[in-house]
Amino acid sequence: MLGLEKKDFQLLMLVIVLTLFAPFFLNPFPVDSTMDQFNAGYPDLMQRFVIFGIFAIGFNILFGLTGYLSFGHAAFLGAGSYAAIWMMKLLTMNVVPAIFLSIVVAGLFSLAVGYISLRRSGIYFSILTLAFAQMSYSLAYSVLTPITGGETGLQPKLADPRILDGPLEPGASPSANLFGLDMGASYELAIGGWLFTFNAGYYIAALLMVLSFYIAIRIFRSPFGLMLKAIKSNQNRLGYTGISTKPYTLAAFVISGMYAGLAGGLMVSMDAQAGAERMFWTASGEVVLMTILGGAGTLIGPVLGAGMIKYMENIFSKINERVLDGWFAWMPETLQDIFVSVVYPFVGKGWHLTLGLVFMLVVIFLPGGLMEGVKRIGDKFSRKKSPSVAAQTAPAE
């Protein structure tokens, strides 16, 4: 179905179910409980899950399939953001033209960067992409201030022309929409002590994430994807056969850049502003961590890695000393102070330390990422061969 094999179709259905019912899965604790701190089912964070999932899916096509490690993909994320915000300022606050232009601009930009960077491979390719990203950041931050807004960035203003939109009502402010449906529109459902929020912007981004995931599956299983895997396996040997690998690597680079542009356009669609910080090298490093943490070369692994990092960034970073005091309030005062002092460096502003430790453990014990752990668990609970089957498959003497 949909041109997919059975396992791939089941995986796609799993992604659809998870995204569709995410407000329920991400809010497992009642709002009035002490564990409410760990609920992640609010619109802003759910949007980040799917948007950075798209970013990681695209990066995985380049790194996971082809083996080319780019440290400059944040440049395409930022280019897509700026293209989207200018479309909203000049044409319309409808997100469709903004998203379309973000993909086109990021694709053209990645074509130019890839054409130059792919003249080298290995660490030299990685350094070239990093150099392009940092140059883009510097241009956006200072030199191109009239276009990018410099340090303060850009956001829609009342004075913007928006030639396709009608005049706003007095006191109204421009807001991103999809043919009149506001991206911030939400519906809250209360069931007992639980509160679930269904946000329009999240489901629009989730729909694009599912579509992006489907396209990634088709790429992985296509002859083009097999050629990319061959390049990753042994590019020199492939070259000896007379096949030029440059068109394939450049195509993978451009596709990956277009995914990044889509993510950048969705960021602006959900929160109508764009800044140079999205082009900084740390954003490029973040998507590398997402892909490796989830499992480079796997289909759903980068999405899991993106979700895990964004969960820790937004949930663990909110845990402060006051929250810890509440957790350990049942202990004697001296013991409570000891536990708070031990745990506090790993949460709040120190959440990066926890992420670093998790990343180290995954790299050491699960080199294939979180998906390797899932596979090991699946193998452990899978049905073993019966003795009769084992005897039938044993080699004859």
Tell me: the pLDDT tens digits for 4-15? 899 999 999 999
| Mean pLDDT for all residues in the chain | 90
How many Cα atoms sit within 13 Å of 313 on the Cβ side?
Answer: 14
Cross-strand bridge partners of residue 125: none
* Residue 108 to residue 100: CA distance in whole angstroms: 13
**How many domains does the chain divide into?**
1
* Residue 258 to residue 102: CA distance in whole angstroms: 8
pLDDT of 310 above 50 = yes
* Residue 169 to residue 155: CA distance in whole angstroms: 19
CA-derived radius of gyration, the chain: 23
* Domain that includes residue 110, residue range: 6-279
pTM: 0.93
Token output for 120? 């080298």
Q: What is the pLDDT of residues 335-372, one digit of tens each?
A: 988 999 999 999 988 899 999 999 999 989 998 899 99
* SS percent in the chain: helix, strand, coil, step 5: 70, 5, 25
- The pLDDT score that the predictor gives to residue 384 is 59
Assigned domain for 323 exists: no
Of 297, 299, 291, 300, residue with least CA distance to 359: 291
Assigned domain for 220 exists: yes
Q: What is the pLDDT of residues 84-116, one digit of tens each?
A: 999 999 999 999 999 999 999 999 999 999 999
Element (H, E) at 195: strand 194-199
What are the angstrom distances between the C-alpha of 397 and each of 390, 394? 15, 9
CATH of the domain at 167: 1.10.3470
Of 327, 323, 372, residue with least CA distance to 348: 323
Torsion of CA 174, 208, 291, 38, to 10 degrees: 70
Assigned domain for 295 exists: no
Residue pointed to by tokens 């960067």: 113
- The pLDDT score that the predictor gives to residue 268 is 95
Phi, psi at 93, each rounded to 5°? -85, 0
Phi, psi at 12, each rounded to 5°? -65, -40
* Residue 12 to residue 299: CA distance in whole angstroms: 10
- Which own/partner contact pairs does 101-105 have at CB distance under 8 Å and 24+ positions apart? 101/265, 102/261, 102/262, 102/264, 102/265, 102/268, 103/258, 103/261, 103/262, 103/265, 104/261, 105/79, 105/80, 105/261
* Residue 83 to residue 101: CA distance in whole angstroms: 6
* Residue 360 to residue 289: CA distance in whole angstroms: 11
Assigned domain for 234 exists: yes
Assigned domain for 39 exists: yes
Assigned domain for 48 exists: yes
Identity of the residue numbered 75: A
Assigned domain for 114 exists: yes
Assigned domain for 385 exists: no
- The pLDDT score that the predictor gives to residue 294 is 94
